[in-house]
Amino acid sequence: MATAIRGIELSKSFQHFQVLQSVSIEIASGECYALFGPNGAGKTTLLRIFATLHRPSAGRFEILGFDGNRERAKIRAAIFLIGHGSYLYDDLSVKENIQFAIGIRGWNPTDLEIKKALDQVGIGRFAKLRSRYLSAGMKKRLSIAKALLVRPKLLIMDEAYAALDELGVAMVNEYIRNFTKEGGTVLMSSHDRAKTAEVAHRVGVLNRSVLNEMSVEEMSAADAIF
Amino acid sequence: MQFFSVIRWIAWKDLLSEYRNRENISSMFFFAINVILIFSFSFSLDPETIKEIMPGIIWVAFGFTAIIGLGKSFLVEVNNDCMEYFQMLPIPKGAIYLGKFLGNFLFMLSVEIVLFPLFVLFFNLDILDQFLKLLLISTVATIGLSALGTLFSALTVQIRAREVMFPILLLPLSVPIFIGAVEATRGILSGDAFALYRHWIELLVVFDVIFVVVSFWIFEFILDY
Amino acid sequence: MLSTRFIGWLRRYEKWFGIAAVILIAIGLYTGLVTSSADYYQGEVVRIMYVHVPFAQTAMFAYSTLFICSIWYLWKRDPIVDNAAHAAAGIALFFTAGGLLTGSIWGKPTWNTWWTWDPRLTSFAILFLTLVGYLMLRSFLDDKEKRATFAAILAIIGFIDLPIVHFSVEWWRSLHQPLSISTRGVSIAADMAIPFTLMSIGIALLFTYMLMVRTQMLYLEYLLEAKQGRLMSEEHL
């Protein structure tokens, strides 16, 4: 199986404060890899490095075979990040925000495709609402609708279940299951072991720049993983 | 082509947002009106003096408009981390600059067009027959101001002293725009032959071309430092 | 990437530049202030030119250095190059301020005015403001890569703009005032040429010395921050 993500001895420091030190990781295509770890361990930083938002201070990485330093445009065409930022414009409606977010990536979804995606994530009836009025959970669902339309090869989800209600979590898990079945790769971080166990293929626990990998069963059975 | 559609999308987004909340244009407009009123009070209204200082007043008013309006052009992108979304796009980042530049240029030009009748009103200017020429000058000078202003907005928008830093950076470097615009405006208002002030317009055009191109090329580094 | 060997090289050779600068400036000042003749028209005041002109030239030289380092940084992202750029900017500010001040002192007795919107003075004032803006921008940005990149962008834009500023003011001045006032007014007699040359080279060497020292200082600050960060991180990791 091809490798979707290969990180080799990645280090990152901000203001000379070292968040990651020599972290290596390998994720295969079609896999859902769940990253756990205490707050401040550097999970978000690692995910953002792979999303090409940060350059590593040391080390290198490859995504879908493209070099993380020299082929960033090709990486960006194939990935999608659902992170902490909502990437929304307050004065635009939900539908207009989607039209902008996808249109600026190079193709224009039809009204029907947008409606389908919004319905699939459960906010179809809010299509005309100005996004300044959306709750955090609704914004998260909107981000997933964008991912549905973009259809990336690699999906990166930082705190996948944050802000979502139970139905929302079930919706995300179903999306991940379908996504990996169709050959896509998912790298996610989470704090909820039970919900993650339903979809993850492999688990990694990042603590003090040590990545401790384990199976999903081990993660579920253990009292505490860090 | 995707490059041009990016520019269109960004300009569309900015224009639509502005149409909905009108925050930017109204603050630019009312600030400029304030400047015009203050000048109107402060100077005695004899026609000779007016003709002398009018070009300066016009461009001071437009300059303040630029400082108020252009400085926060990227603020809306920073608010919900939209700059990050731009960073992750597989497109040449200069297209984003051009999209913002286009929106800014249209805002500034529309405010200037609305202000011209006010100049006629408060200063008894007779400019109706020269309106097209004044519009030409405004367009060319505003392109330059928008080019620099959009770039400096991106540089200063995340700094805590943004409102101070933006004019500090913009004003010295836009001196050629103001000189060219004032001199060309003076030529038009004095009824001079076009040949007498055309080199000012040429200067502005050269400035515009240089700075749109350089800013377009250099914007990549702002998003991917 | 420039390595710490470059810093070591700076440290080893800085004193030669410093010594050469001191010698040339000393001889230049002596010949300029004491042994050369006063100008026929301007009198003793012309002697300020021995300081003013080299200062102005060196300010331009310093800004060019800042420009080159900025482009180099955007290309290679080398932190030592960023330190050099930062150093060059501060020193350029010093020489620009010095040039403006000495020019003003010369201007009062010669033109009977402390200031005029002559193309060169205006360009210099704009250069001064641009450098102040550069240093202020740096002080407000905490993220080191962002700071280096944004500062480099500002320096490049300013450098490209400066000739346009000069050009536009020259046109403007030729419209509104005949060039009765000219900074080119000093005719170079033979015994003036020697102090001029000595001071020009001497002050350029002084700039180089200052740049070498200041770059090392900024590099040490950079290392210190790194060390502090590592100490903090050791608790974290």
Residue B43 banded pLDDT, cuts 50, 70, 90: confident
Residue C178 banded pLDDT, cuts 50, 70, 90: low
Minimum distance, in Å, between the CA of residue B7 and any CA atom of chain A: 9
B103 contacts on A by Cβ (under 8 Å) = none
> Which segments in chain A show pLDDT lower than 50?
none
Residue C184 banded pLDDT, cuts 50, 70, 90: low
Residue C192 banded pLDDT, cuts 50, 70, 90: confident
HSE-up of B94 (CA within 13 Å, CB side)? Answer: 9
For residue C29, what are its two tokens?
A: 């000042």
For residue C179, what are its two tokens?
A: 């060039």
Question: Is C169 close to B169, i.e. CB distance below 8 A?
Answer: no
**Cα–chain-centroid distance for residue B175?**
13
In whole angstroms, give the CA distance from residue B101 to residue B152. Answer: 11
Q: Is pLDDT above 70 for B160?
A: yes
For residue C124, what are its two tokens?
A: 């210099």
Instruction: Find the length of chain C.
Output: 237
| Torsion over CA: A191, A194, A197, A203 (sign) | positive
| pLDDT recorded at residue C188 | 62
C157 contacts on B by Cβ (under 8 Å) = 148, 151, 173, 211, 214-215, 218
Report which of residues C29 and C133 the model is more confident about: C133
Residue to test with chain B: of A97, A104, A108, A143, most B Cβ within 10 A? A104
pLDDT tens for C99-113 read 999 988 888 887 788
**Cα–chain-centroid distance for residue B103?**
10
| pLDDT recorded at residue C81 | 96
| Torsion over CA: C224, C228, C234, C237 (sign) | negative
Backbone angles phi, psi at A61, to 5 degrees: -150, 160
| pLDDT recorded at residue B225 | 81
Of the candidates A76, A87, A100, the beta carbon closest to that of B80 is on A87
DSSP labels, B69-86: HHHTTTHHHHHTTHHHHH
Residue A22 near residue C234, CB atoms below 8 Å: no
C229 contacts on A by Cβ (under 8 Å) = 13, 15-18
Of the candidates A14, A15, A209, the beta carbon closest to that of C237 is on A209
Question: Is C153 close to B165, i.e. CB distance below 8 A?
Answer: no
Report which of residues C180 and A32 the model is more confident about: A32
Question: Is B90 close to A73, i.e. CB distance below 8 A?
Answer: yes
Among A4-18, C42-56, C117-131, where is mean pLDDT lowest? Answer: C42-56
A51 contacts on B by Cβ (under 8 Å) = 88
For residue C186, what are its two tokens?
A: 């000093």
Largest CA distance in chain B: 59
For A13, which residue in chain C has the nearest alpha carbon? C229
In whole angstroms, give the CA distance from residue A75 to residue A156. Answer: 12
Report which of residues A7 and C233 the model is more confident about: A7
Residue C21 banded pLDDT, cuts 50, 70, 90: very high
Does residue C12 lie in a domain region? no
Where is B63: in which H helix or E strand? helix B47-71
| pLDDT recorded at residue C236 | 64
HSE-up of B175 (CA within 13 Å, CB side)? Answer: 27
Residue C177 banded pLDDT, cuts 50, 70, 90: low
Q: Taking each helix axis from N to C terminus, what angle separates B131-156 and B162-173, rounded to the nearest 10 degrees?
A: 130
Q: What is the mean pLDDT of residues C209-215?
A: 96
| pLDDT recorded at residue A213 | 93
Residue B104 near residue B151, CB atoms below 8 Å: no
Return left, alpha or beta for A16; rule: phi > 0 is left, psi -120 to 50 is alpha, else beta: left
Q: Is pLDDT above 60 for C186?
A: no
The single-letter code of the amino acid at C219 is Y
Report which of residues A100 and C122 the model is more confident about: A100
Question: Is A85 close to B91, i.e. CB distance below 8 A?
Answer: no
| pLDDT recorded at residue A165 | 93
Question: Is C228 close to A21, i.e. CB distance below 8 A?
Answer: no
Of the candidates A72, A74, A88, the beta carbon closest to that of B80 is on A88
Nearest residue to C153 via CA among B223, A157, B103, A55: B223
Of the candidates B151, B172, B199, the beta carbon closest to that of C129 is on B172
Residue to test with chain B: of C164, C166, C175, most B Cβ within 10 A? C164
Minimum distance, in Å, between the CA of residue C212 and any CA atom of chain A: 24
Backbone angles phi, psi at A13, to 5 degrees: -130, 145
Minimum distance, in Å, between the CA of residue A198 and any CA atom of chain B: 29
Residue B156 near residue B72, CB atoms below 8 Å: no
Residue B195 banded pLDDT, cuts 50, 70, 90: confident
At A203, is the secondary structure helix, strand, or coil? strand
| pLDDT recorded at residue A1 | 66
Write down the mean pLDDT value for chain B. 91
DSSP state, A129? S
Q: Is any Cβ of chain B less than 8 angstroms from the Cβ of A84?
A: yes
The single-letter code of the amino acid at A31 is E
| pLDDT recorded at residue C189 | 65
Contacts (Cβ under 8 Å, ≥6 apart) of C2: C78, C80, C81
Of the candidates A14, A18, A19, the beta carbon closest to that of C230 is on A18
Domain that holds residue C98: 18-232
DSSP labels, A162-185: TT--HHHHHHHHHHHHHHHHTT-E
Question: Is B20 close to A73, i.e. CB distance below 8 A?
Answer: no
For C143, which residue in chain A has the nearest alpha carbon? A15
In whole angstroms, give the CA distance from residue A11 to residue A55. Answer: 10
| pLDDT recorded at residue C40 | 64
B80 contacts on A by Cβ (under 8 Å) = 85-90
| pLDDT recorded at residue C118 | 80
Q: Is pLDDT above 60 for C179?
A: no
Where is A75: in which H helix or E strand? helix A72-78
Going by CATH, does the domain composed of A3-221 fall within 3.30.70.1070? no
Question: Is A16 close to C225, i.e. CB distance below 8 A?
Answer: yes
Does residue C13 lie in a domain region? no
Strand partners, C43: C39
Question: Is C225 close to A40, i.e. CB distance below 8 A?
Answer: no
In whole angstroms, give the CA distance from residue C159 to residue C62. Answer: 11
Complex ipTM value: 0.93
Q: Is pLDDT above 60 for B204?
A: yes
Question: Total structural domains in chain C?
Answer: 1
Q: What proportions of chain B, in percent to the nearest 5, are helix, strand and coil?
A: 85, 0, 15
